[in-house]
Structure 1
Amino acid sequence: MSNHLHLVLRIDPGETLRWSEDEVAARWVRLFPPREDSDAAIEAKCLRLQANPERIETLRERLGSLSWLMRCLVEPIARRANREDGCKGRFWEGRYKCQALCDERAILAAMTYVDLNPIRAGMADRLETSTYTSAAERVTQVREDPASATSPLKPIAGRLRPTVDITTADYLHILDWTGRQLAPGKRGRISPDAPAVLANIDRDGTRWTTRVAAFNSGWHRAAGSAQDLIALAERMGQQWLAGIRLALKLGVKHRERTGRPAGGMARG
């Protein structure tokens, strides 16, 4: 977007604990290479890091940190944009915020919200023209390889298992239909020709579009069923969590297959 971005991601801080000191050093140097772009300089920097166990443990923690992921992503973009504009100062809207996505339905709703953001903002009028979205990348992929349309929906980046139990074509159909319902001037209008697969995700079309739109205002620290949000509030030592009332209104009475947060959406 013009001053912020959205990511739907899965993060496992414990993954870094299984990495050797060599791998921690190598990954860090790929993120922050030496000024001299040569194999010798890269190897020398890795060796210096490996010789400092305390530094390695600090880097191990950072490589599993969402805060550092966002920092490594947004700082270079801000610096480049300011250089291009010949200006200084803050480029992004504000510090990043994140929400836990507690089940597959919440993950899919967040993905839908993110992919439709440029269209709702009037920056694009079709999925394939919404630059820098996974939707545009998926449309291109299907055009180049039609057989991929029937493949399980997978993350755009990373070697992860399928995000939700639908195909790429199913997801694109859901995106197209949801975008028409949430288009400016059409809020609340639900057509009867919803994709059949949507019935497996949310039997009520109005409830589905409400769930997606709630990422703009409604969901806060987490999105999911009321039971998941209540459990999360208890783990945080709170009696209530913003969004529980919305979850109750949506009538989600049963937990999904996973009982723990399955992913998250970060906004920077």
Structure 2
Amino acid sequence: MPKPREQQVSIEETPYYHCVSRCVRRAFLCGTDSSTGECYEHRRGWLENRLLELPHIFAIQIAAYAIMSNHYHVVLYVDAEASKRWTDEDVIERWHSLFKGNLLSQRFIRGDELTKADLARLHIYITEWRSRLTDISWFMRVLNESIAREANQEDDCTGRFWEGRFKSQALLDEAALAACMAYVDLNPVRARMAKTPEASEHTSIKARADKAKAVQAPNHLYQQPKELLPFAGNPRQNMPKGIAMKLTDYLELVDATGRIIRDDKRGSIPERSAKILDRLGLDEERWLAMTQHFEKSFGTFAGNEVKLRSICERLNYQRPPGLNRCKTAFG
């Protein structure tokens, strides 16, 4: 039986989570249904637009994503500190952009006078909403429900559109994060939907590559796509918020990996990119294995043994799940 979601998430241990949601129907989420000839390609735009809108509401950012024919992948970064800086009014306005709220929150926004009891009760709601706006389950719920409603309306039917439960994997260290992001970004290449990562539509790697080609300093935080969590450069003291790697290094590494996968022949990672793997503590063989089979290779957690034991202790697991797999991959 799957563990409750709260037993799979610990923001104190890691803010990064790989989530996958799959369509439950025989009809495709996107692409063309070969049995009926119906084309659902436009739904990729629905999903991508909604996915990139939600970080403006939630304290959650997008590190990577790929929208496939009957499922999608997204790597989320939970920015719990950002939500703590929101005022009560910020929280209410963000929540109201998703839901109606309640009578008290509506009166507060209108500027009506509230009693002390009303304000105390409203504060309870605000605390709950602030928590939900940093919760990956609520993020995925809002995303999936909005797409399901549009698809059901278009298909003139009712019922489930998605599987009942999305899959999540906690990414416990830098190596797990890099391998998982590359796995997500290379999904269309492995599926032969695109020849190269930068040519794959509705993916984060294309958005990053397109932006990098159009600016003079692609590694600069403010010259990267605003809708995505930026690459902040190599690890150092007083690092800004972002992924601990240069964007150009990541693009080169993913490009080299994609060419090996796409060509169906044994290749090698260029020396410059191999140095990145050395810093991550990975060799080429393990990197290629993870970037092709990351989702299947790991269960709830992915990362080195120390981080795995730490998060399992915090979440009261009797024994670390997938310990041997993590030792093999990240040892």
TM-score with structure 1 setting the length: 0.76
Find the partner of 2:270 among 185, 193, 201: 193
Please tell me whether the aligned partners of residues 229 and 241 of structure 1 are also in contact (alpha carbons under 8 angstroms): yes
Query: Residue by residue, what CA displacement relative to the aligned partner does 1:85-132 show, whole Å, maximum 9, x if unpaired?
Result: 333332224421211111111111111111111221222222233222
Pair 1:12–1:90, CA change in 2 (3 A): same
1:141-187 CA-partner distances (Å, limit 9, x unpaired) = 02211421x4468885358845433222211111112223334844x
Distance, in Å, in 2 between the alignment partners of 1:111 and 1:58 is 31
User: For residue 263 of structure 1, what is the aligned residue in structure 2?
Assistant: none
Cα contact 1:14–1:64 (8 A) shared by 2: no
Check conservation: 1:29, 1:46, Cα contact below 8 A.
no
The answer on 1:2 being equivalent to 2:69 is yes
Partner of 1:233: 312
Distance of 1:78 and 1:123 partners within structure 2: 24
Q: Which of 134, 157, 171 is residue 228 of structure 2 equivalent to?
A: 157
> Structure 2 stretches of 5 or more lacking a match?
1-67, 233-239
For 1:155 and 1:221, locate their aligned partners in 2 and report how far apart those are by CA, in whole Å.
Answer: 29
Say if 2:326 is the partner of 1:247: yes
Aligned CA-pair RMSD: 3.1
Q: CA deviation at 1:44?
A: 5.7
Distance 1:19 1:190 in 2: 49
Tell me, in whole angstroms, the C-alpha distance in 2 between the residues paired with 1:14 and 1:167. 24
2:301 corresponds to which of 218, 222, 226: 222
Higher relative contact order (CA 8 A, sep 6+): 1
* Deviation of 1:12 (Å): 4.1
The runs of 5 or more residues in structure 1 that have no matched partner are: 35-41, 253-268
* Residues 1:80 and 1:59: Cα distance change in structure 2 (over 3 Å): same
Residue 15 of structure 1 contacts residue 64 of structure 1 at CA under 8 Å; is this kept in 2?
A: no
Distance change >3 Å, CA 27–CA 117, structure 1 → 2:
same
Change (3 A) 1:126 1:85: farther
Contact 2:172 2:307 in 1 (8 A): yes
Moved more, 138-147 or 106-115: 138-147
SS at match of 2:294: coil
What is the distance in 2 between the residues matched to 1:3 and 1:100? Answer: 23
The CA distance in 1 between the partners of 2:205 and 2:71, in whole Å, is 18
Q: Could you tell me whether the CA contact under 8 Å between 1:155 and 1:162 is conserved in 2? A: no
Counterpart pick for 2:174 among 83, 104, 111: 104
The aligned amino acid for 1:24 is V
Counterpart of 2:43 in structure 1 is none
Contact (CA 8 Å) 1:6, 1:114: kept in 2 or not?
A: yes
2: CA distance, partners of 1:242 / 1:169: 35
2:52 match: none
Instruction: Give the corresponding residue for 1:25.
Output: 92
Aligned partners of 1:179, 1:22: CA distance in 2, in Å?
46
Give CA deviations for 1:195-230 in whole Å, capped at 9, x if unaligned: 243333345100212233342212111111022112
Number of equivalences: 242
- Show the counterpart of 2:36: none
